[in-house]
């Protein structure tokens, strides 16, 4: 088949250890402490029931030590940013509403106070934030400004006479919207608004604003609305906040990056306003990393349900054969589930690498070098987009793979699908995030704060691209060796050669990017009077470059992860899964590779046949691959996992009894009939 020794059976716990990675202890602690039915989703709840349950669990979570990991040890945390992401990814296996609720409280709200506040503010608020005694909101997004957060319209105008800010929502489109914890629980909010002092705008800053009184009624001047029923995440109370000239004391400005003196004098260690804004946002990168990883948890749960169902579920009787054929034996079923599983593995390794980088950047005693910070943000953006799109698609295909059963709430998939849907939108719309990735590539990770001087410097940019694109954070030496070992001519190399795969991904990224830069340069020269069109006309090309970049990053992380795997059998299995990820990605982009002479027609044909061989080879290991996610059984919470094996056994026993009685159950007579029977 694939010309390699046959894969050996692998203990899923060995693979789990590899996936659990650097924060294995955090992940195992979550399984041990929280891995019960109490933390599992409840199907078919009303919005009110879901909100009440999730709020109660959030309060309980505070006592587990699982949610405060990122905070300073002085306030009961562990100074462990990476661990906090691992912990929230684990919550996502159990219940995405609970994960989002925790993410809002301890990630966004608490994280903003921690990252943007001063020591006095930490002292005053972090303990109550950690204990959930002070539920809070992260109020950035406005109804009219979803993606363009630098242009928020809420204003905070300083008055030296009273030493207060006047926080104001100028019109309906400027109300804060989709704000978690706002509709029901939040007592305080970090509100992002344009700071104005001494008659001058200083850009977006964050303010700590009480939004509810002790009795739960809105604070004076604050209007609270409820976003009401949503597609999913019913346990999260999203709402709207309006401010009618609300008075905010001077010391409630979270002033790490910008201070206002009593007399209204503004000061900041970062002079450039745009740069200051993005530096503030940069400290909040953890949220985006958490969202991407949590979406992947959802994909893992869906795949485990679909793979286990497909291992017992029969569809048509196998013609003229004794063996039991189950749904997972069908090539087309494998063609759906296995590439999704392979990509889930690839993304898991990329996410682990991202968490490590993030942790090291955030934990370093000195602020990171600007280029390192920018690259972290770019990867966080790209992997957030990649993982959330993948999760939406994967949960959907798993729903379809489970047929009608997949549509019943009791089988988990409907809730998972509805909950994960918005992950492609919040914490940054995916398309906008991919533009951010593209921007990083176009400037070679440089000049991220300023704008390019028109497009005159595009040539310079193009020159930088080749070297900067190939910067690698992990296993650089290994990957370079693999790439260098590939002989010059493609036709002589197996498509299973890892170096060839790596080179193919790399070539695509470079070539697409080069092309985009050339077109941008040309546009800049010819469309000087239409600056919007300069970029817009090549938007698809630029996004394709970002996608190629993310694909390559992910493959390299997978290769590095395999290298770290000590167990030989597990390593071999992961190697095959990596082949499947690499080759199905190339197969999906076959048009590009053929169009640019990177694949011959003959080799493209081989590719498809090797992919099908890989599916056959991996078929016996599907169950191992999902078991290795280490999801506590109580969290899966899909009725079909318990009921289907029983039903199928009963059915088989019944059929056997009929055969013994000489009353053969009718069987599809030939292979053709497999294709003919209609369905209802």
Query: Which residues inside 514-553 make contact with a second copy, applying CB under 8 A?
Result: 530-532, 534-540, 542-543
- Smallest separation (angstroms) from a second copy to the CB of 636: 18
- Smallest separation (angstroms) from a second copy to the CB of 646: 7
- Smallest separation (angstroms) from a second copy to the CB of 21: 27
Q: Which of 309, 138, 159 is nearest to 208 (CA)?
A: 138
Binding of a second copy by 670 (CB under 8 A): yes
The token pair at 661 is 């009685």
Nearer to a second copy, 16 or 424 (CB): 424
Binding of a second copy by 89 (CB under 8 A): no
> Looking only at residues 586 through 625 of this chain, which bind a second copy when binding is defined by CB under 8 A?
587, 589-591, 593-597, 601, 604-605, 612
Binding mask 378-407 for a second copy (x = CB under 8 A): ---x----------x---x--xx--xx-xx
The token pair at 535 is 């970029």
Nearer to a second copy, 358 or 436 (CB): 436
Contacts of 269 (CB under 8 A, 6+ apart): 257
Cβ–Cβ < 8 Å for 16, 615: no
Contacts of 199 (CB under 8 A, 6+ apart): none
Cβ–Cβ < 8 Å for 483, 499: yes
3-state secondary structure of 286: helix
Binding of a second copy by 46 (CB under 8 A): yes
Nearer to a second copy, 325 or 493 (CB): 325
Q: How far apart are CA 542 and CA 617, in angstroms?
A: 37
- Smallest separation (angstroms) from a second copy to the CB of 63: 30
Binding of a second copy by 662 (CB under 8 A): no
Nearer to a second copy, 218 or 515 (CB): 515
Cβ–Cβ < 8 Å for 176, 186: no
Position among 177, 185, 237, 551 found at the interface with a second copy (CB under 8 A): 177
- Smallest separation (angstroms) from a second copy to the CB of 372: 17
For 114, 202, 280, 363, the CA distances from 270, given in Å and listed in that order, are 19, 11, 10, 21
The residues that bridge with 222 in the sheet, in sequence order, are: 243
Concatenated DSSP letters of 305-316: HHHHHHTT---S
Q: How far apart are CA 19 and CA 570, in angstroms?
A: 11
Residue 179 main-chain phi, psi, to 5 deg:
-80, 115
Nearer to a second copy, 133 or 463 (CB): 463
Nearer to a second copy, 64 or 198 (CB): 198
> Looking only at residues 334 through 363 of this chain, which bind a second copy when binding is defined by CB under 8 A?
335
Q: Indicate the pairing of strand 155-159 with strand 188-197.
A: parallel
Please identify, among the stretches 122-130, 300-308, 475-483, 646-654, the one whose residues bind a second copy according to the rule CB under 8 A.
Answer: 646-654
> Looking only at residues 278 through 337 of this chain, which bind a second copy when binding is defined by CB under 8 A?
278, 281, 314-321, 323, 325, 329-332, 335
Instruction: Show the 3-state SS of 613-678.
Output: HHHHHHHHHHHHHHHCCCCCHHHHCCHHHHHHHHHHHHHHHHHHHHHHCCCCCCCCCCHHHHHHCC
> Looking only at residues 426 through 485 of this chain, which bind a second copy when binding is defined by CB under 8 A?
426-433, 435-436, 438-439, 442, 448, 451-452, 454-455
> Looking only at residues 142 through 161 of this chain, which bind a second copy when binding is defined by CB under 8 A?
143-144, 146-151, 153
Binding mask 209-238 for a second copy (x = CB under 8 A): ------------------xxxxxx------
Residues near a second copy (CB under 8 A), total? 135
Nearer to a second copy, 79 or 449 (CB): 449
The residues that bridge with 210 in the sheet, in sequence order, are: 188
Cβ–Cβ < 8 Å for 237, 218: no
- Smallest separation (angstroms) from a second copy to the CB of 557: 23
């Amino acid at each position: 088949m694939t010309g390699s020794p046959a894969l050996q059976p692998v203990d899923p716990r060995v693979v789990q250890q590899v996936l659990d990675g650097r924060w294995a202890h955090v992940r195992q602690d979550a399984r041990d402490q929280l891995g019960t039915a109490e933390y599992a989703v409840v199907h078919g709840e009303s919005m009110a029931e879901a909100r009440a349950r999730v709020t109660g669990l959030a309060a309980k979570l505070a006592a587990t030590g699982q949610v405060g990991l990122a905070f300073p040890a002085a306030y009961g945390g562990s100074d462990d940013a990476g661990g906090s992401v691992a912990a929230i990814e684990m919550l996502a296996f159990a219940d995405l509403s609970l994960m989002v609720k925790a993410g809002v409280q301890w990630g966004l709200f608490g994280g903003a106070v921690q990252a943007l506040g001063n020591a006095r503010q930490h002292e005053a608020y972090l303990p109550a934030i950690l204990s959930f005694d002070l539920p809070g909101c992260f109020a950035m997004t406005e109804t009219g400004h979803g993606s363009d957060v630098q242009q928020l319209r809420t204003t905070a105008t300083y008055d030296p006479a009273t030493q207060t800010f006047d926080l104001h929502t100028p019109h309906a489109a400027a109300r804060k919207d989709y704000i978690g914890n706002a509709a029901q629980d939040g007592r305080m909010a970090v509100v992002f608004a344009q700071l104005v002092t001494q008659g001058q705008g200083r850009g977006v800053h964050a303010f700590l604003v009480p939004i509810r009184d002790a009795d739960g009624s809105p604070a004076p001047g604050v209007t609270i609305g409820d976003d009401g029923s949503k597609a999913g995440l019913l346990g999260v109370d999203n709402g709207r906040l309006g401010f009618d000239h609300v008075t905010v004391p001077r010391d409630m400005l979270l002033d790490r990056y910008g201070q206002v003196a009593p007399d209204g004098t503004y000061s900041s260690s970062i002079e450039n306003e745009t740069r200051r804004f993005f530096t503030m946002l940069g400290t909040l990168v953890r949220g985006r990393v958490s969202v991407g990883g949590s979406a992947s948890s959802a994909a893992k749960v869906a795949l485990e349900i679909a793979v286990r169902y497909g291992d017992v579920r029969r569809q048509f009787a196998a013609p003229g054969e004794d063996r039991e054929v189950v749904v997972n034996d069908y090539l087309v079923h494998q063609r759906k589930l296995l590439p999704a599983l392979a990509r889930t593995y690839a993304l898991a390794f990329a996410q682990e690498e991202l968490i490590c980088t993030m942790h090291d950047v955030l934990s370093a005693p000195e602020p990171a070098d600007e280029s390192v910070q920018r690259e972290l943000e770019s990867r966080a953006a790209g992997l957030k987009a990649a993982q959330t799109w993948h999760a939406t698609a994967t949960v959907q295909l798993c729903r379809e793979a489970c047929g009608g059963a997949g549509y019943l709430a009791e089988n988990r998939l409907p809730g998972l699908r509805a909950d994960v849907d918005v992950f492609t939108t919040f914490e940054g719309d995916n398309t906008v995030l991919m533009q951010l990735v593209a921007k990083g590539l176009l400037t070679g990770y440089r000049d991220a704060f300023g704008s390019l001087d028109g497009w005159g410097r595009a040539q310079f940019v193009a020159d930088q691209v080749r070297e900067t694109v190939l910067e690698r954070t992990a296993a650089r030496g290994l990957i370079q060796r693999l790439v260098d070992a590939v002989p010059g001519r493609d036709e002589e190399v197996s498509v299973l050669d890892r170096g060839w795969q790596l080179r193919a991904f790399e070539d695509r990224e470079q070539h697409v990017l080069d092309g985009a830069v050339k077109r941008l340069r040309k546009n800049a020269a010819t469309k000087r009077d239409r600056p919007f069109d300069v970029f817009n006309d090549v938007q698809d090309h630029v996004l394709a470059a970002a996608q190629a970049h993310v694909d390559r990053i992910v493959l390299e992380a997978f290769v590095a992860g395999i290298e770290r795997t000590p167990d030989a059998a597990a390593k071999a299995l992961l190697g095959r899964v990596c082949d499947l990820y690499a080759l199905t990605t190339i197969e999906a982009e076959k048009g590009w590779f053929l169009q640019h002479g990177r694949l011959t027609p003959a080799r493209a044909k081989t590719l498809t046949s090797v992919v099908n061989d890989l599916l056959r080879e991996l078929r016996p290991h599907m169950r191992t691959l999902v078991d290795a996610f280490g999801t506590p059984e109580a969290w899966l919470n899909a009725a079909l996992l318990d009921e289907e094996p029983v039903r199928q056994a009963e059915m088989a026993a019944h059929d056997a009894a009929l055969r013994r009685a000489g009353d053969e159950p009718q069987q599809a007579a030939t292979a053709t009939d497999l294709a003919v029977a209609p369905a209802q």
